[in-house]
Copies of this chain bind each other. A is one copy, B any other.
Amino acid sequence: MGDSAALIVAASEQDANLYYATRFWAPDPFILARINGKKILVMSDLELDRAKSEAQVDEVLSLSKLQEQAKRSGAAHPGFSDVLDLLFKERQITSLRVPGNFPIVLADRLREKGYTIVPGKEPFFPERMIKTKEEVAAIRETQRLTEEAVKSAITVIQQSQIKNGELWLGGQPLTSELIRKLLHVTLMGSDCLGRETIVAGGTQACDPHCIGTGPLKANQPIVLDVFPVSLKSRYFADMTRTVVRGKASEKVKKMYRAVQQGQEIGFKKLKAGVDGKEIHDAILKYFEQEGFPTGMIGGRMQGFFHGTGHGVGLEIHEPPRVSNLSDVMKAGQVVTVEPGLYYLDAGGIRLEDMVLITETGCENLTTFPKLLELN
């Protein structure tokens, strides 16, 4: 029996694990093998030189040279599996640990060649969840730029005029699309990329993944959920604020206070060693007590029907989760705290901050104020 290696074949642009392990950003799939603690990349001619200068690995091999070698060994059109076969045979590797998202077609070819393929448990690199100082600084910086963008968006909503219950600005209706574009353009000016940013008013926000469309209305909650990635550091941030231009109803005000208190429960309880489920359940229970039940109402999920939080880093959603599934927090993790309440007769309220878990508690990385009514 031979030795074991870790193997990832992906485009690092789409695979945070591969980017994490190599710090090399590429749009097309390439090979990373970790053999005896050494990281080996196999790169196409197009990326070879850049990988040699940029990738944080031990060795960079040429795909085309290995393909030539595979041809001499009899492969007519050598693909990744033939190249990997060469690489592993030379190094007496017979067993491969791969991420759960490893492509089946390549796994099957390697199995045909006699390799044992073992999908690793998630997270593939558990150390990725624990942020270094540099990583926390990167997340904090993305958050700072996000807050600047959210500030300009909220200022525009605040400055809008109310005409027949709709928000107007500069002679046209103020729409979700306009605020979203303002956020995206402002973020891009700071080298941050916002996608699917949520600017959802009224009942639209009751569908927490509806990004929002059309004219925004006065006296109704508007949810702004902004989660860009820095194109410089590759780290995400994530925040949500809910505002009302005009007057909020009593129900909306009560929902807002409950959601804010829900967040406080999270902030108080979050620390290393605590189970996220305990926090999520406590918030859910608190909402029930305050008269905000969760479940199917009139054929639609209403109340608080998503998780309390998720890890943030090279992906916008990464482990750990603060949800109805057990997941014990560790120092160095960065998670969101984002309870929400959604009722079709009132609209949606969500508040979201990011916190850094420590041994003794948590540190809020978000500094943006929480203010419901804009007048």
Contacts and interface: CB of A to CB of B under 8 A. Distances in A.
A316 interface: yes
Most buried by B among A47, A195, A196, A209: A209
A297 interface: no
Interface string A172-196: 0000000001001100110101011
Interface in A265-285: none
Interface in A89-107: 98, 100-107
Interface stretch (A22-30, A126-134, A240-248, A365-373): A22-30
A117 to B, nearest CB: 7
A207 B305 CA distance: 49
A207 B210 CA distance: 41
Contact of A46 (B185, B195, B231, B305): B305
A195 B193 contact: yes
Given A181-B191, A195-B231, A207 B117 contact: no
Contacts of A317: 27-28
Interface in A42-58: 45-50
Given A27-B316, A188-B181, A306 B196 contact: no
B104 A196 contact: no
A238 B44 CA distance: 21
Contacts of A45: 301, 305-306
A300 B47 CA distance: 12
Nearest to A315: B27
B191 A50 contact: no
A359 interface: no
A191 B181 CA distance: 7
A108 interface: yes
A208 interface: yes
Contacts of A193: 193, 195
A93 to B, nearest CB: 18
A208 B185 CA distance: 27
A184 B188 contact: yes
Contact of A104 (B13, B14, B119, B208): B119
A48 B100 contact: no
24 contacts: A13-B195, A13-B196, A14-B14, A26-B209, A27-B196, A28-B317, A46-B209, A46-B305, A47-B209, A50-B207, A50-B210, A100-B103, A100-B106, A102-B103, A102-B105, A103-B103, A104-B117, A105-B119, A107-B107, A184-B188, A184-B191, A188-B188, A193-B193, A193-B195
Given A13-B196, A195-B231, 7 more contacts: A25-B196, A46-B306, A50-B210, A100-B106, A181-B188, A185-B185, A188-B188
